[in-house]
Chain A
Amino acid sequence: MEYKISNRLKIAAIVMIVLGVLGVGYGFMDSHKYETVKDVEALLKSEAHHGDEDATESHGESESHVEKAHDDDAHGAEAHAEEGHKVSHEEHVLHQIHNRPYSALYVAAFFFFMIALGALAFYAVQYAAQAGWSPVLFRVMEGITSYVLPGGILVLLIAFVADSHLFVWLKDGVTEVGHENYDKLVAGKSGWLNKTGFFIRGIIFLAGWSVYRYFSRKFSVAQDNADINDNRNFKKNFRISAAFLVFYIYTESMMSWDWIMSVDPHWFSTLFGWYVFASMFVSGITVIALVTIYLKSKNLLEFVNDSHIHDLAKFMFGISIFWTYLWFSQFMLIWYADIPEEVTYFATRIADYKLPFFGMLAMNFVFPLLLLMNSDYKRINWFVVMAGIVILCGHYIDVFNMIMPATVGDRWFIGVPEIGAILLFGGLFLLTVFWSLGKYPLLAKGNPFIKESEHFHY
């Protein structure tokens, strides 16, 4: 089946990009209204004043709130304090306000990139496991993974431009003894956390993933035109997929330290790489299901039946629970031991991000658990779509919760800059994916498992 990106989709994606650019631009202008500490003083005063008018009770709250904000900074400030340096609260707030548009961009860019990377990992697993059910979905997966390279470049670019707005370890003088920004803990990690290393590693990761994606697509298309008994391209794909999975699980782990965990350079967690992996895997599978259902609704995937959707929904269900398992394992171990250097991570999130932090648990766990448990529901398209949308929103908030508390603290909001960034990268994602889907027929007809897959029945 041939597919060409429809004009409506193209226009919708372009409108999303334009709106997104406007939103992001507004975000940057808005944050630069506050140029100096003086502006922030006025802002804080008006906020405190506002509390006064409401009720005496809320006055008390806002006061304790300010105090708490100071406490939260404490873990960051501790190391500074030793050096006899203290950032005023106003200056701190000013930084947070300036960080917001960068963080909003970064969160959205990473979210869409991780969908593509998760789909790529799923694709490699299908090849390496020689799965008999999924080859009819290979072209859909290949379409989604086409965003790995552009998406990854965008993430790295934003990291490069945002610099110390995202990564405090990139501030001037953090590693210089005696400098006012000197941070002993970060200086100790500078062997890994330095700008050159960050980008060299980032480029190696991205190159590795893109090279696999390039060759797997190439062999997959070549297999289409190969002789009926010629499975050489399939075998090549099998081998490079197995190799890629080894490379992927190492680099994905390191990528999660670099690109996400390092926004909190004083904090560390050993299962963080797995946690990020579960998040991207489930988002990737969800998007595969959504794109499949979309194309099927256009009658372009006659060979995809209910059982394929059922299997994808089973994966969405299972990996959602796997994500929750890792989230809880990380949270509970740190909560239980309550070691101050680790627990600040969750203390700040529970203090300032209560709704997104626990809300994502409902969206990523409770909702899919109850909705996708029933075997019949897993083959009803609109049920899968509904669960998929909630899962995707939940995992956006998951990334939001990983980045924002470190960069904007309690000054977070899902407003124009955040939604603008989602629209911008969402539009780019749709454009890339559907343009790529139109390049080759939607049935990978040369795959030796394609007959089995077409007749797959659960």
Chain B
Amino acid sequence: MEASKVIHAIYTDDDVLMSAVKTVKAEKHHIEEIYTPFPVHGLDKAMGLAPTRIAIASFLYGCVGLTVAITMMNFIMIEDWPQDIGGKPSFSYLENMPAFVPIMFELTVFFAAHLMVITFYLRSRMWPFKKAENPDPRTTDDHFLMEIAVHNNENELTSLLKETGAVEINIVDKDEDAH
């Protein structure tokens, strides 16, 4: 494969960026990535990204947490050593359940929250000491950058992007090791 080239179009306004995304999508060009300094409402819809499934994952993690809580307390408090502690009925799990509910609730929330965050980190490849993947440091401050792969159509793309209001257009050789 030839060294892959990408075009970087830089914008300074999120409204301009949004309409640019719509134009580029209408022209059937594939947008590799967009770098923005803050969440732009509706950008994922305009790019046609699939909705996230992290809420579903979180629900399942919550179910795991609830199961852990129930199994743990059933074993410790009812099966392993059913002591009489202050007259609480330890004959069956159900009989003493109200006392376990606070822990069941907290463990459900704990598992749902923490495992969801870890899932998020894994899926978005974030960890300490990770090399930042930022093509242009200005995109963390006040610039927006759209990255489109080039397939021998540099001139066509450049003129299209110029029209959409890009303030700066760079063609760069993508360094594969940057990932």
Residues of A bordering B, CB below 8 Å? 328, 331-332, 335-336, 338, 373, 375
* Alpha-carbon distance A1/B26, docked complex (angstroms): 39
Q: Are A336 and B87 in contact (CB under 8 A)?
A: no
Q: Which residue of A lies closest to B88 (CB)?
A: A336
Q: Which residue of B lies closest to A328 (CB)?
A: B101
Q: Shortest Cβ distance from B122 into chain A, in angstroms?
A: 23
The B contact surface, by secondary structure, is helix
- Which one of B59, B98, B101 lies within 8 Å of A373 (CB-CB)? B59
Q: Are A332 and B98 in contact (CB under 8 A)?
A: yes
- Which one of B55, B59, B87, B101 lies within 8 Å of A338 (CB-CB)? B87
Contacts of B101 in A (CB 8 A): 328, 332
* Alpha-carbon distance A336/B98, docked complex (angstroms): 8
Hey, what's the 0/1 contact readout for B63-104 against A, CB within 8 Å counting as 1?
000000000000000000000000100000000001101000
Q: Which residue of B lies closest to A373 (CB)?
A: B59
Q: Which residue of A lies closest to B56 (CB)?
A: A374
Q: Are A375 and B55 in contact (CB under 8 A)?
A: yes
* Alpha-carbon distance A373/B55, docked complex (angstroms): 10
Q: Shortest Cβ distance from A85 into chain B, in angstroms?
A: 33
**What are 12 A-B pairs with beta-carbon distances under 8 A?**
A328-B98, A328-B101, A331-B98, A332-B98, A332-B99, A332-B101, A335-B98, A336-B98, A336-B99, A338-B87, A373-B59, A375-B55
Interface size bucket, B side? Answer: under 10
Contacts of B99 in A (CB 8 A): 332, 336
Q: What are the 9 closest A-B residue pairs judged by CB atoms, nearest first? A: A332-B98, A335-B98, A336-B99, A328-B101, A332-B101, A336-B98, A331-B98, A373-B59, A338-B87
Contacts of A336 in B (CB 8 A): 98-99
Q: Which residue of B lies closest to A370 (CB)?
A: B59
Contacts of B55 in A (CB 8 A): 375
* Alpha-carbon distance A332/B98, docked complex (angstroms): 6
Most chain A Cβ neighbours within 10 Å, of B55, B87, B98: B98
Q: Which residue of B lies closest to A325 (CB)?
A: B105
* Alpha-carbon distance A332/B59, docked complex (angstroms): 26
Q: Shortest Cβ distance from A315 into chain B, in angstroms?
A: 19
* Alpha-carbon distance A412/B98, docked complex (angstroms): 26
Q: Shortest Cβ distance from B146 into chain A, in angstroms?
A: 25
* Alpha-carbon distance A151/B98, docked complex (angstroms): 37
Q: Shortest Cβ distance from A416 into chain B, in angstroms?
A: 35
Hey, what's the 0/1 contact readout for B99-141 against A, CB within 8 Å counting as 1?
1010000000000000000000000000000000000000000
